[in-house]
Amino acid sequence: MGRTAHKGEERVKRIRQWAEELGFASVGFSRAERLEDEEPHLAKWLSEGKHGEMGYMERNFDKRLDPRLLLPGTRTVISLMLNHYSDERPVDPDAPRISTYAYGEDYHYVMKWKLKELLKWMRRDWGDIAGRVYVDSAPILERSWAKRSGLGWVGKHGLILTKTGGSHFFLGEILVDLDLPPDAPVTDHCGTCTRCIDACPTGAIIRPQVLDGSRCISYFTIELRDGLPEPMAGKFENWMFGCDICQEVCPWNRHAKPHNEPGFSPAPELLQMTRRDWVDLREETFNSLFKKSPVKRTGYAGLKRNIAFLEKGKAASDGAP
């Protein structure tokens, strides 16, 4: 037993070293099991329609709660964080805004490559390990696993928070059939602060750690395929893709440090775009700016819809007919 435990500890140490070499901010380990505590909360959230038109959230309910149903034989969930914080901003303060996570290349590809490399190194040294990597691409409650593995706590805005870097991180997982010693969760450090709840212009954070996804600006500008709801006109605070408001007001994000991942850096021409440039955006420019970007998800027509909605809100607030 002692020898087995020692081997597990040595492997965890090695994985941490490899993760650092690949540029991950941190890595944690959890024992693979069913998330019994999360089950009633997820069921209630779905039954209340907080997922809006994101129908995929209703599918694979049991798999979301038990990673062993995704990869039979899974013993450990390895959770990893990759920093994406950028302090660069558009030159025109009136230009419609894009969430900073989408400034550069699509994180799905950048992070998945790193996760696959890590799993490849594990197999190189330890043999034919059963494993699978995920980046926001499977029914996994990634924040729950990140919390369990001690990467951070769940803030009142529903994002994983750390004392040293705030919340500007992507999360990814590697499921493996290795029996690795688990980490312990960290304590919550939000205290009585409610800045994220108070700052949300659409009232999407209905109570601490519970987000009404159907009211979130990110949902409206990315996920919603139909027309944007008229009651929300003027409430997007100039966000045309995603939203960073709850993160910008969070005191812990004062500690955020710029990422060092070249793929996440914005193209200079993206930050040079003015409000007028965005209003007059042509499809060729869209394709050039966002050929490897998550913004492709909303499409040219979707982004133009969002920009027009922002302009309509501005006109209404200025008293224009």
CA-closest candidate to residue 121, choices 48, 14, 217: 14
Residues belonging to the active site: 136
Question: Pairing state of beta strands 205-207 and 160-161?
Answer: unpaired
Per-residue burial over 10-28, b = 16 or more CB atoms within 10 Å of its CB, e = otherwise: ebbeebeebbeebebbbbb
Q: How far is CA 262 from CA 103, 171, 197, 200, in A?
A: 11, 18, 33, 31
CA-closest candidate to residue 166, choices 224, 87, 240: 87
Residue 133 pairs in a beta bridge with 174
Is residue 142 classed as helix, strand or coil in its secondary structure?
helix
Question: Pairing state of beta strands 239-241 and 97-98?
Answer: parallel
Q: What is the dihedral of CA 11, 176, 134, 181, to 10 degrees?
A: -50
Amino acid, single-letter form, for residue 268: P
Amino acid, single-letter form, for residue 167: S
CA-closest candidate to residue 151, choices 140, 141, 142, 162: 162
What lies within 8 Å, CB to CB, of 79 at 6+ separation is 27, 28, 29, 30, 142, 145, 146, 148, 149, 151, 171, 172, 173
Rounded to 5°, the CA angle 256-257-263 comes to 120
Is residue 119 classed as helix, strand or coil in its secondary structure?
helix
Is residue 31 classed as helix, strand or coil in its secondary structure?
strand
